[in-house]
Structure 1
Amino acid sequence: MEVDGMFVETHEVEADNLRFDQLTVGAMFFNMRYFKKVVREYAIRQRFIFVKLKATRKKYSIQCKEAGCKWRITGVNRMTFVVVKLFIAYHTCTTKIRCNDHPLVTTAWVAETCLHLFACPEDVRTRIIREYIKMHWGITISYWKVYNAMNNILEIKCGNVEDSCRVLPAFVVEIMTRNLRSYMRVFQQRDLRPRGDDKFACLFWTFGPCIRSFRTLRPIVLVDGTHLRGKYLGILLIAIGIDGNNGLYPLAFGVVETENEDSWQWFLILLKSYRMRHLAANFRSNFKDLLLERLFWRAA
């Protein structure tokens, strides 16, 4: 089938996990997590809810939530595999879930089920997730559950925001090493607690080619700011120049907590200081080349 421009195989991708005929007494599974997944998907297919009787590392036993129903299954961990010791497959209750959603269809389960649909993070779409669950499982889940599942998929593929902030200083050093004359500066608020992490405060960065090209632009700098979206809000500050074709050319960027006089003053001071530092470096380099050239001609 085709979902939002993407071709998805019509057969169940995880066919081994969905073979419910394996649920018989004496059936063996790889581990307890695999066994729980099969039982959960069996309950979703059959449109009923179960409750846990015992859930440990050695034993997992559940039964139908309806009072008096005899449906029950028990799996026991046998070192390297899980074996089904008890399974009553028939229901004595007549009540099934009539609503479109299912309590066992959690955000984590939706993310794990739809993870194989997306090869790269740019392809993750809420519409694809919702239509896939509707077509393959017959369940219409809410938008917020789909949205949270999309965020879980992105976190699995790209990592979370907290881990990215922790490696930000190393990323700054790598950028300054790989891009000559680039400048990045990250500020963090120190956490004095024994195991507290430093809190991200603000970030300023500019790339060497952007600053070096300023001499070919018009002698004017435009600044603006915009709000960031996501889990952690903030303000993105930017300084741009104008080239000969009236095109916008980025010069420097900054991420601050709020847009006020202090944040703008901090951003413009760093922009001016690095710009003057770069001009001084160019002046010293040009003066040195001119001096060496004169000494060469004088010696000749």
Structure 2
Amino acid sequence: MSNPKLCKGMKFPNRKVFRAALREYIVKKPVDIKFKLNEKTKVSVHCKYECSWRIYASQIAGELTFQIKTMVPTCICGRTFKHSQVTSTYVARKYLDDFNKNPDWAVSGVKHQVMQDVYVDLSINQVYRAKRKAREFILGDERLQYGKLRDYAVMIKVTDVGSKVILQTEITEPNTQPKFKRMYVRYNAQKVGFLGGCRPLVGLNGCHLKGKFGGHILSATARDVNDNIFPVALGVVEQENNDSWVWFLQTFADDIRRPNELNLVFISDRQKGLILTMELLFPTVEHRFCVKHIYNNFKLNFKGLELKAALWRCAVATTVREFEKRMQDMKKLDNEA
């Protein structure tokens, strides 16, 4: 099928096989075609540019077998670098192994490979569609994978006793299947490890999901005794806002234990929805801010490596007296500047 040679009288097991062989043949030939008949029992194709080239095939009576009945193999039209049959689906299937071995295959690389093999110049959009379809062929349709989440949640609870998984769905239109809304996942080892061997400091952060359906991941992470990052829980939500943070942190508190009972300190990037959430849910719990994010705002008005170093000396101060001294040193630097 990689390079079929068609001729009058040739037989094929069924219409699908004939269509696949026909496509490979005309791409290699090359002949751009249009269908004059495209039915279950007969197929008739002519040259798109109205020369004498044509093929007619039909099903043999009483069988599924397709046979070429008429074929005029001579095409006098000149070659072009566009072909209606070299679609994104065709490219995805033809180079499926290459996409599988190299998921980050560059757009320019795909275009170059197709041009070398079949002398067709794909558009940028065609290549992007081909890459997306190849991903779906390899990993499966993302939409269908959402239907397996309930089984996944049950499997976690059965195989890792003590884990907690909450799956929320919503019905957006009457008489339709519920759609995924939010999910909270915390494995048993995460809770045991956090309560038994981590510092009482929890970092909160959110990031975008770049898949087909978007969304955000909200995460709670800690530091273990070796100062390594220790993931505690995560949630997948529709977007990072006040409502989603309230849901995530309320679930986290009910799951792990109340933060004020554990004397926890939260640290975040000063996301507005998160600040309001902390004030609403845990008004007595300490909420600190990430110095790296503070510096990103600080350097807009106060530039220079010396001021940056001074800021970090303030951040790592371990006593009130030392902190006040470092702050005075930084103020002097600002006045001198």
TM-score range, shorter chain: 0.7 to 0.9
Number of the residue aligned with 2:182: 202
Does the CA-based 8 Å contact 2:26-2:32 persist in structure 1? yes
2:105 to 122, 126, 131: 126
Does the CA-based 8 Å contact 2:4-2:24 persist in structure 1? no
* TM-score of the superposed pair, with normalisation by structure 2: 0.70
Does the CA-based 8 Å contact 1:60-1:74 persist in structure 2? yes
Which SS does the other structure have where 1:249 is aligned?
strand
Q: State the alpha-carbon separation in 2 of the partners of residues 31 and 111 from structure 1.
A: 23
Deviations 1:199-221 (A, max 9, x none): 11111111110110112111111
Number of the residue aligned with 1:59: 42
Which SS does the other structure have where 1:188 is aligned?
strand
Aligned partner of 1:19: which letter?
P
Aligned residues: 254
> Which structure carries more relative contact order (alpha carbon 8 Å, separation 6+)?
1
Number of the residue aligned with 2:14: 31
Q: State the alpha-carbon separation in 1 of the partners of residues 177 and 52 from structure 2.
A: 52
Q: State the alpha-carbon separation in 2 of the partners of residues 58 and 48 from structure 1.
A: 23
Number of the residue aligned with 2:311: none
Task: Give the 5 Å matches for 1:98-247.
Answer: 99=81, 101-117=82-98, 121=100, 123-127=102-106, 129-191=110-172, 193-194=174-175, 196-215=176-195, 216-247=197-228
* Greater Cα offset, 229-238 or 73-82: 73-82
Q: State the alpha-carbon separation in 2 of the partners of residues 41 and 261 from structure 1.
A: 55
Which SS does the other structure have where 1:18 is aligned?
coil
Number of the residue aligned with 1:3: none
Identity of aligned residues (%): 26
Q: State the alpha-carbon separation in 2 of the partners of residues 72 and 242 from structure 1.
A: 71
Aligned partner of 1:18: which letter?
N
Which SS does the other structure have where 2:244 is aligned?
helix
Which SS does the other structure have where 2:217 is aligned?
strand
Cα distance, 1:147 vs structure 2: 2.2
Cα distance, 1:273 vs structure 2: 0.5
Aligned partner of 2:179: which letter?
K
Aligned partner of 1:36: which letter?
R
Does the CA-based 8 Å contact 1:114-1:129 persist in structure 2? no
Which SS does the other structure have where 2:201 is aligned?
coil
Q: State the alpha-carbon separation in 2 of the partners of residues 122 and 172 from structure 1.
A: 30
Q: State the alpha-carbon separation in 1 of the partners of residues 171 and 257 from structure 2.
A: 30
Number of the residue aligned with 1:19: 4
Number of the residue aligned with 1:294: none
Q: State the alpha-carbon separation in 2 of the partners of residues 137 and 96 from structure 1.
A: 11
Does the CA-based 8 Å contact 1:126-1:146 persist in structure 2? no
Q: Gapped runs of 5+ residues in structure 1? A: 1-15, 281-300
Q: State the alpha-carbon separation in 2 of the partners of residues 190 and 94 from structure 1.
A: 55
Q: State the alpha-carbon separation in 2 of the partners of residues 168 and 250 from structure 1.
A: 21
**Alpha carbons of structure 1 residues 50 and 254: separation in structure 2 relative to 1, 3 Å:** same
RMSD of equivalent CA atoms: 2.1
Cα distance, 1:18 vs structure 2: 1.5
Q: State the alpha-carbon separation in 1 of the partners of residues 178 and 211 from structure 2.
A: 20
Cα distance, 1:17 vs structure 2: 4.2
Q: Does 1:96 align with 2:84?
A: no
Number of the residue aligned with 1:77: 59
Cα distance, 1:28 vs structure 2: 0.9
Q: State the alpha-carbon separation in 1 of the partners of residues 2 and 8 from structure 2.
A: 17
Q: State the alpha-carbon separation in 2 of the partners of residues 210 and 122 from structure 1.
A: 33
Aligned partner of 1:111: which letter?
A
Deviations 1:95-116 (A, max 9, x none): 432x3x4222101111111124
Aligned partner of 1:57: which letter?
K
Cα distance, 1:157 vs structure 2: 2.2
Cα distance, 1:44 vs structure 2: 1.7
Number of the residue aligned with 1:283: none
Q: Gapped runs of 5+ residues in structure 2? A: 262-337
Does the CA-based 8 Å contact 2:204-2:219 persist in structure 1? yes
Cα distance, 1:122 vs structure 2: 6.3
Does the CA-based 8 Å contact 2:206-2:216 persist in structure 1? yes
Task: Give the 5 Å matches for 1:41-56.
Answer: 41-56=24-39
